[in-house]
Structure 1
């Protein structure tokens, strides 16, 4: 077991328990650090998408981001737990155990381990802008429904992004969000507000001053 993994409590290296028929949100990120904006997205997702659970997946590292400024995984898990108040939100870092780097592999794994569970990918509109740079992004969109949540300065991403244009035919109205998790992919929606102006990047920069 690698040193980084040894410092993470074993319960976080396992996938949360789910039952067949559940609707589960997959909310992944570096959470470096986690903040109230992340919690707002998670809580809004549970309500708008009618989820039974949401997995707050703290990743070992994002291939598209600088890992030099990344806080230790155990530290980001502990900080994430402090942001969570709804018992349906489960903080996990199972991607570390399986040495997963890419979202497409995460989705493939959770679907193979949990047949009969309805998974939906959750992300911010700022991530939607660069979604086409993700490894096997089309495979992701064709594997699970996707809920995109509004972020300040990124509201128009759902119109201008490569993903939004490529899968425009699969977008459903926000008013239909409650049934998204149980739709066959590709299927996605854009959730407007409430929005938080907080960002992990800004918080890290402020901490350095």
Structure 2
């Protein structure tokens, strides 16, 4: 199977994430998209992250019964912080029959040189890149293993959602309905 890997903190997962995952799953020729919940991105602060299993649960709620999407906690048992190249090596050992393709936003492609062993990623993996608002062309996009995907984008951020919840504002319609119901009945991001 050809599996797309969509890494993220998903803190929380929102409608924009789901639109991208579903679009790529349906229009890229991939068999499935795995939404990999990252315990700690080395380029981000961990202090404002909800617990790993709460974020995984919200991704599972958001996916629901979509057969082309899957929530993954594969990085929970790997060393922290989580480096994509290490996770890919682990996945290749665990699932040798699968082909893995990275899914990332254009902003990540622009900053790829900051990633651990980024040359290994560029040389050994297919990368699907969805353009983000204010996307800038960059030095990597013309490589043969990189494909640009025109996915519908929404300007929604997990940061905005967390700030809204902290202020007691509704995030309905910014997150999938099951995630909204979960957040309404929890204290996540409110204190």
Q: TM-score, normalised by structure 1?
A: 0.74
CA contact (8 A) 1:132 1:163 kept: no
1:196 is aligned to 2:177: no
1:90 is aligned to 2:70: yes
What's the offset of the Cα at 1:69?
Answer: 0.4
CA contact (8 A) 2:13 2:158 kept: yes
Aligned residues: 165
Q: How does 1:134-173 map to 2 (within 5 A)?
A: 134-154=115-135, 156=136, 159-160=137-138, 162-164=139-141, 168-170=142-144
Q: Residue 95 of structure 2: which of 90, 114, 120 is its match?
A: 114
Q: How does 1:37-186 map to 2 (within 5 A)?
A: 37-85=16-64, 86-99=66-79, 101-154=82-135, 156=136, 159-160=137-138, 162-164=139-141, 168-170=142-144
Partners of 1:30 and 1:169 lie apart in 2 by: 27
Partners of 2:6 and 2:150 lie apart in 1 by: 17
CA contact (8 A) 1:149 1:190 kept: yes
CA-to-partner distance for each residue in 1:94-132, whole Å, 9 max, x for gaps?
A: 111133520000111111222232211111122222221
RMSD, matched Cα: 1.5
What's the offset of the Cα at 1:169?
Answer: 3.7
Partners of 1:102 and 1:112 lie apart in 2 by: 16
Q: 1:68 to 1:201 in 2, by over 3 A?
A: same
Secondary structure of 2:140's counterpart equals: helix
Secondary structure of 1:65's counterpart equals: coil
**Partner residue of 1:178?**
none
Give 5+ residue unaligned stretches, structure 2. 168-191
Partners of 2:29 and 2:140 lie apart in 1 by: 24
Q: 1:169 to 1:95 in 2, by over 3 A?
A: closer
CA contact (8 A) 1:104 1:140 kept: yes
Larger proportion of helix: 1
